[in-house]
Amino acid sequence: MSEPPPTTATAGGLFDGVLAAGPVRAAVDDRAWLQALLDVEAALARAQAAAGMIPAGSAATIADACRAERFDVARLGTDAAAGGNPVIPLVRALRAAVDPDTARHVHAGATSQDIMDSAAMLVARRALAALTPDLVAAADAAARLAAAHRDTPMAARTLLQQALPTTFGLVAAGWLTALDDAVDRLDRIRDERLAVQLGGAAGTLAALDGHGPTVVGLLAAELGLAEPTLPWHTDRSRIAELAGALGAAAGTLGKIARDVTLLAQTEVGELVEGRPGGSSTLPHKRNPVAAVAAVAAATQAPGLVATLLGAMIQEHQRAAGAWHAEWRPLRALFESVGSAAHWLRVCLTQVRVDADRMRSNLDATGGALLAERVSGALAGTIGRGSANELVAAAVARAAEQAAPLAAQLAAEPRIAAALSRQQIESLLEPAGYLGSAPALTDRALARHASRTEGAQ
């Protein structure tokens, strides 16, 4: 897969080039929302025509008028203040755009929230279609890294300290499976939980004269959304599940990007971005800008998810404010996750691995990372407890004297009686204590390959 072009800021806010980068922003901007609202109105008219409720000609006229370029977004936003949502002035403008006989069929039987919620589901589906390719591309890049470095040893780190040897292949495989899982969750939401909304003023469909359930089914088919069992005006679990899946994706993206920033530190130097950024004052800096931007975008997500979850508590059949509170954080959440996905794709498709530096860092402790292995080899002869005490004492002496651990181990008579110097040196070789890291990497790669084949 070819690398994405470097990102440049497009028309928008001062921070959008960093925090709203990639294709998702356009999928959730004002024009996208307006067109989704109009698409729902057009689909509602067609559904009612199919149910025999309004003339087919009127539905066609309404649909023809439902083009975003015919309406003033700023004016609709200003006029929304009077009624509390932009659907009210939009319906008024749409009725004015068609002949009087057709105008009476615009928005028939629906309430403003029906149109807004259905539009939100359309926007979500379209935004997920824009988001998923970046997630998949990032996963593909992680797969290439995992395959290329299946057997490249490096230090695993726990609590930010070196722990045991692992492979960079397994690290990248961990990134890969997390990204694949994020795609799976979002795909399930897109396919199963994005549902049309149509209930009328109080969720009874009373204004549709007995045709309500039929029109709901036809509307769902028109829009390509799921048909719910009931109207879900104050059951916001669909929004919550979408927010949760997006938030989990952001966490995955941020975790991987954070790993890159840590491994790219000057003192570590195991990774470097292909196009590292500079500094306004320090000519020597090689900042991992794409990873930093991914972390920044992903960090915004938890608060937005919390707002959407908080808005679930709604009154009776229609909410007084909580529903309205969802609109902006839902858009911002998509922008943040979309930006994080874009930047991680850039990062992983360009990152370079310094295997020699990984090996050098593995050797930095003089073999201390393999202390567990030496203890295990001694346990059968002198017992686990004694082995741990002797090896721990040797590690402490080696650190205090800045001496090789092998020499300290060999100098301990009880250890020397059980292990030769050659055996000690062999036990302290990191590449010999990788456990099942290569096999686990192969499992992740096989799973990813099967998913890729199934998607084709």
Determine what percent of the chain is predicted with pLDDT higher than 90. 90
CB distance 107 to 115 below 8 Å: yes
Q: What is the per-residue pLDDT across 235-263, written as a single tens digit (0 to 9) for each?
A: 999 999 999 999 999 999 999 999 999 99
pLDDT band at 405 (very low <50, low <70, confident <90, very high): very high
**What is the residue whose two structure tokens read 């570590």?**
268
What is residue 7's predicted lDDT score, i.e. its pLDDT? 45
230: which DSSP letter?
S
Separation CA 20–CA 340 (nearest Å): 8
Residue 419 and residue 380 in contact, taking contact as beta carbons nearer than 8 Å: no
> Domain 16-356, CATH 2.60.40.10 — does that match?
no
Q: How confident is the model at residue 396 (pLDDT cuts 50, 70, 90)?
A: very high
Both tokens of 277, joined, read 């950024």
Provide the annotated active-site residues: 279, 318
Distance CA(224)–CA(14), nearest Å, equals 36
Domain boundaries, the chain: 16-356, 367-427
Confidence band of 284 (pLDDT split at 50, 70, 90): low
Evaluate whether 317 touches 234 at the Cβ level (below 8 Å).
yes
Is pLDDT at 10 greater than 50 in this prediction? no
Query: pLDDT band for position 6 (50/70/90)?
Result: very low
The gap from C-alpha 424 to its chain's centroid, in whole angstroms, comes to 45
* pLDDT at residue number 259: 98
- What are the residues facing 167 on neighbouring strands? 153
What is the torsional sign of CA 116, 120, 126, 130?
Answer: positive
| pTM of structure | 0.92
Strand spans (E) along 63-185: 153-158, 161-167
Q: Residue 11's pLDDT band (boundaries 50, 70, 90)? A: low
Q: In whole numbers, what is the pLDDT of the chain averaged over residues?
A: 94
User: What is d(CA 278, CA 254) in angstroms, rounded to the nearest whole number?
Assistant: 21
- pLDDT score recorded for residue 12: 74
Overall average pLDDT of the 435-441 stretch: 97
- Residue by residue, DSSP assigns 25-73 as HHHTSHHHHHHHHHHHHHHHHHHHHHTTSS-HHHHHHHHHH--GGGS-H
In the structure encoding, which two tokens stand for residue 75, read together? 């004016």
DSSP string for 241-295 = HHHHHHHHHHHHHHHHHHHHHHHTSTTT-SEE-SS-B--SS-TT--B-HHHHHHH
pLDDT of residue 404: 87
Cα–Cα distance list, 373 to 165, 377, 426, 429 (Å) = 11, 6, 10, 10
Per residue in 31-80, pLDDT (tens digit) is 999 999 999 999 999 999 999 999 999 999 999 999 999 999 999 999 99
Rounded distance, CA 32 to CA 328, Å? 14
What is the predicted pLDDT for the residue at 360?
96
Greatest Cα-to-Cα distance within the chain, rounded to the nearest angstrom: 102
pLDDT band, very low/low/confident/very high, at 403 (cuts 50, 70, 90):
confident
pLDDT of residue 274: 81
Q: What are phi and psi of 34, to 5 degrees?
A: -60, -45
